[in-house]
Amino acid sequence: MTLPVTPSFRLDGRRAVVTGAGRGIGLASAAALAEAGADVTLVARSLDEIQAAAAEIVAAGGRAVAARLDVTDLSAVAWFFAERPAFDILVNNAGTNRPMSMIDVAEADFDAVLDLNLKSSFFVAQAVVRRMIEDGVPGSLIHMGSQMGHVGGINRSLYCASKWGLEGMNKAFALDLAQHRIRSNTIAPTFIETPLTRPYFEDGAFRSGVLEKIKLGRLGQVTDLMGAVLFLASDASAMMTGTSLIVDGGWTAD
C-alpha cells in the first residue's frame, strides 16, 4: 500500500505581494507567507511601516522587501507590476470602511470605500494576472473580503456593497483565469482586532453586540487568519478556486 502524501504548505521559491501590508491583517499575511518560505513584497502608501515590517521579517529569518505604492493610483499600479517579474501569490488586502447609516452616505464616502475596496482590488489583481500570464506563472489570488460580503450589517451599507462586490468579482476571476492555472479565492473574516478596528470596540454596546453574534465568544485576532492565507497560497488548496473561506466564529451560521 502506498499512502498519499499531504500537499506541502511550504512556499519556498515563490514570490508573494501583499497590499496594505504595514499593519493588521496585511502584516500578519506577509509574516505567514515569509515564514513558509515565500519571498514577500510588502506594499502600502506609508513606507515607514512596511520598511519596519520587512526588517522584522528579515530579522526572523524570512525574505521580505518594502515597496511604496498607492493602489488607488491605477497608472502607478500598472507600472509597478509591469516592471517586476511575475508574482506567484497576491494577497489583495488594502481596504477601508466608513460606518454610517445609508441615509447619511455622501458621494465622497461612497467613492472612498468602493474605490479602494473594490475598484483598486480589481485593477491590482488585473495587473498581477497580466504579468503571471506573460511569464507563464500559475498562481493564487487571495482577496481579503469579510463576513459582510455574505450578510448585511447596520451602518455597513458601503462596506457590504464593496465586499459583496468582491465576492462576485472573485467568482468571475476564477472562471476567467482557470485556463491559465491561476486560482482566485477570498477570505471572509469576522471583526478582527486591529489598529483600524480597535477604536470601535471602545463602545461597550457595540462590542457586546459583536460578541453576541460571534458564537465562539471572542473577537478575531490576526493570527486567526494566517493559516487561511497560507492554505490558499499553497498547494494544499490546489483544487480550490472561486470560493470563500469564512473565518467568522460562527457569525454567518446563525
223 within a domain of the structure (yes/no): yes
- Annotated catalytic residues are 159
125 within a domain of the structure (yes/no): yes
8 within a domain of the structure (yes/no): no
Provide the CATH number for the domain around residue 119.
Answer: 3.40.50.720
**Structure confidence at residue 197 (pLDDT):** 86
254 within a domain of the structure (yes/no): no
Widest pairwise Cα distance in the chain: 65
β strands within the chain, DSSP E: 15-19, 39-44, 63-68, 89-92, 139-144, 182-189, 244-247
**Structure confidence at residue 254 (pLDDT):** 85
Q: How many domains does the chain have?
A: 1
Q: Say what the pTM is.
A: 0.97
Residue 82: CB atoms within 10 A of its CB come to 11
In the structure grid, which three cell numbers stand for residue 1, read together?
A: 500500500
Residue among 75, 90, 66 at smallest CA distance from 140: 90
Residue linked to cell 486591529: 194
Residue linked to cell 463576513: 147
- Dihedral of CA atoms 116, 117, 118, 122 in degrees, nearest 10, equals 80
Task: Determine the structural domain holding residue 68 and report its residue range.
Answer: 15-247
**Structure confidence at residue 200 (pLDDT):** 86
Residue among 145, 236, 137 at smallest CA distance from 186: 145
**Structure confidence at residue 196 (pLDDT):** 77
SS3 39: strand
2 within a domain of the structure (yes/no): no
9 within a domain of the structure (yes/no): no
**Structure confidence at residue 208 (pLDDT):** 95
**Structure confidence at residue 180 (pLDDT):** 98
**Structure confidence at residue 43 (pLDDT):** 98
SS3 99: coil
**Structure confidence at residue 195 (pLDDT):** 80
**Structure confidence at residue 33 (pLDDT):** 98
6 within a domain of the structure (yes/no): no
Question: Which residue stretches of the chain have pLDDT < 50?
Answer: none
Chain-centroid distance, C-alpha 197: 16
DSSP character at residue 17: E
235 within a domain of the structure (yes/no): yes
